[in-house]
């Protein structure tokens, strides 16, 4: 398999800079998530007298009754069906892997959203939330990622005592966990959050989002990177419906919009690309339909707006089958600002970034591409991050130290290390 190839091992070790497009509840590996299910007081909503559940919930006593639901402690479910069988069930239902052939983009998204319904009651338990984020940072760091910008709906957490958690409480746990992780790993650059609530709302809903955004920005100005709207574009509302509300967002908060995650041409989803660039987005999330918009592409270059490309996500969600036809090949060929990211890596059992780099390099880029492209992509990820200029310089220093060591190690391991002409730099 891919993981056994020399190229994958090379890319795994390579300092890849940053991930700038990922969603918080899909960061952690399935293995880490399953470990959380061993916490005390976790209940499963069994659908029938069988190993079949789609909701998990922490509670002191049996949670509130629901239709077709037999609440059972997961410890008891494990005793009845065997821990290994329960873990296997969870592993299968927390990912889209092994992938079946979906009929279309909507069918893929439907299964995709089912994972969130199983996951939410587990990771949104306040005592697990910080552990989940710490484990995610560890997995990204171990995969050669030194900086992470993630989208978050800022979910409402809960605990066994019935505490009412506010959005600020959720973000506080993020910030405290990040500080602990940076203390434990001094060469880790950091992490910032793009507040990204669900796009399937109305103008009043967006105004409510903006109030939350302002509160978070006031309390944690260095942690919040900007604003986006997430969810399946084809089922959500287009940006054009929220222009007046979005223009009320203070100028010191940047936009990082998902746009053009579609194969349709001329639809409202496709035209989100136009509104995103006119609203001043700093990066475009996915931008799969960009090749159909030469004027927008021209503006991207002039305004130096990066495209966040997530190759594996695009294939899993049925936008493309053959990576050689991915629009990013055009972006590479014509020198557009590109950053490679992973979107929701845990949902398809991918590494935090190595798999997407592997596909981008082997399946999308020119066969003439070499280490220069890989290095450029790593540098882009820091250059197009939301970090202020001074912090970008500090980040580049931390990345460069890792890069220099990586190159020294590769040259040392190379069988031709005696020949200076074959050394990498």
240: three-class secondary structure by DSSP:
helix
Contacts of 74 (CB under 8 A, 6+ apart): 37, 42, 43, 44, 56, 86
Q: Is 261 a catalytic residue?
A: yes
- Give domain status of residue 422, yes or no: no
- Give domain status of residue 390, yes or no: yes
**Statement: residue 233 has pLDDT above 80:** no
| Residue 240 and residue 268 in contact, taking contact as beta carbons nearer than 8 Å | yes
| Domain shared by 154 and 277, yes or no | yes
| Domain shared by 133 and 46, yes or no | no
**Statement: residue 137 has pLDDT above 60:** yes
The active-site residue out of 21, 258, 286, 355 is: 286
- Position 266 scores a pLDDT of 87
- Position 128 scores a pLDDT of 96
Number of domains present in the structure of the chain: 2
| Domain shared by 72 and 154, yes or no | no
**Statement: residue 102 has pLDDT above 80:** no
CATH number, domain containing residue 259: 3.20.20.140
CA distance 147 to 140: 8
| Domain shared by 362 and 231, yes or no | yes
φ, ψ (nearest 5 deg) of residue 33: -65, -40
- Give domain status of residue 303, yes or no: yes
- Give domain status of residue 19, yes or no: yes
- Give domain status of residue 103, yes or no: no
- Position 132 scores a pLDDT of 97
| Residue 399 and residue 17 in contact, taking contact as beta carbons nearer than 8 Å | yes
Structural domain including 395 reads 2-30+113-405
| Domain shared by 282 and 315, yes or no | yes
| Domain shared by 117 and 219, yes or no | yes
The active-site residue out of 139, 149, 233, 261 is: 261
| Domain shared by 45 and 119, yes or no | no
Average pLDDT over residues 186-205: 96
| Domain shared by 329 and 397, yes or no | yes
| Domain shared by 50 and 134, yes or no | no
Exposure string (b/e) for 386-408, b if CB count within 10 Å is 16 or more?
A: bbeeebbeebbebbeebbeebbe
| Domain shared by 185 and 327, yes or no | yes
- Give domain status of residue 216, yes or no: yes
Q: What percent of the chain has pLDDT over 70?
A: 95
Q: For residue 49, with 0-12 CB atoms within 10 Å meaning exposed, 13-18 middle and 19 or more buried, which class applies?
A: exposed
- Position 49 scores a pLDDT of 74
- Position 101 scores a pLDDT of 66
Top-confidence residue, 49 or 399 = 399
Starting at the edge strand that comes first in sequence, how are the strands of the sheet with 254-255 ordered? 17-19, 145-152, 190-195, 224-227, 254-255
Average pLDDT, the chain: 93
| Residue 191 and residue 178 in contact, taking contact as beta carbons nearer than 8 Å | yes
| Domain shared by 185 and 85, yes or no | no
Q: What percent of the chain has pLDDT over 90?
A: 81
CA distance 147 to 30: 21
Average pLDDT over residues 386-401: 98
| Domain shared by 253 and 272, yes or no | yes
């Amino acid at each position: 398999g891919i993981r056994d190839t020399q190229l994958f091992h090379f890319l795994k070790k390579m300092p890849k800079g940053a991930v700038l497009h990922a969603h918080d509840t899909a960061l952690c590996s399935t293995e880490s998530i399953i470990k959380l299910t061993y916490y005390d007081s976790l209940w499963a909503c069994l659908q029938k007298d069988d190993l079949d559940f789609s909701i998990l919930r922490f509670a002191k006593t049996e949670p509130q009754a629901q239709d077709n639901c037999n609440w059972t402690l997961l410890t008891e479910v494990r005793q009845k069906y065997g821990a290994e069988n329960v873990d296997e069930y969870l592993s299968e239902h927390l990912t889209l892997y092994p992938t079946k052939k979906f009929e279309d983009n909507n069918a893929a998204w439907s299964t995709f959203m089912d994972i969130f319904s199983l996951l939410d009651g587990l990771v949104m338990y306040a005592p697990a939330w910080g552990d989940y984020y710490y484990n995610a940072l560890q997995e990204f760091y171990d995969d050669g990622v030194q900086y992470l910008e993630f989208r978050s709906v800022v979910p409402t957490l809960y605990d066994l005592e019935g505490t009412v958690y506010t959005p600020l409480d959720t973000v506080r746990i993020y910030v405290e966990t990040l500080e602990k992780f940076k203390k434990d790993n001094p060469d880790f650059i950091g992490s910032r959050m793009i507040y990204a609530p669900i796009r399937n709302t109305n103008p009043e809903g967006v105004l409510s989002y903006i109030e939350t955004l302002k509160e978070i920005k006031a309390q944690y100005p260095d942690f919040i990177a900007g604003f986006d709207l997430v969810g399946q574009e084809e089922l959500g509302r287009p940006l054009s419906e929220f222009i007046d509300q979005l223009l009320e967002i203070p100028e010191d908060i940047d936009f990082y919009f998902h746009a053009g995650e579609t194969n349709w041409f001329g639809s409202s989803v496709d035209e989100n690309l136009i509104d995103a660039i006119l609203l001043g987005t700093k990066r475009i999330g996915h931008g799969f339909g960009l090749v159909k918009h030469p004027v927008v592409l021209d503006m991207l270059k002039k305004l130096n707006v990066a495209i966040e490309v997530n190759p594996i996500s695009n294939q899993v969600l049925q936008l493309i089958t053959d990576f050689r036809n991915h629009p990013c090949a055009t972006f590479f060929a014509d020198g557009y600002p590109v950053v490679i990211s992973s979107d929701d890596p845990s949902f398809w059992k991918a590494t935090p970034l190595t798999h997407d780099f592997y596909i981008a390099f082997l399946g999308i880029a020119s066969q003439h591409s070499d280490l220069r492209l890989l290095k450029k992509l790593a540098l882009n990820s820091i250059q197009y991050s939301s970090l202020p200029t001074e912090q970008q310089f500090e980040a580049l220093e931390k990345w460069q130290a890792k890069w220099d060591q990586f190159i020294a190690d590769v040259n040392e391991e190379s069988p031709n290390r005696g020949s200076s002409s074959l050394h990498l730099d």
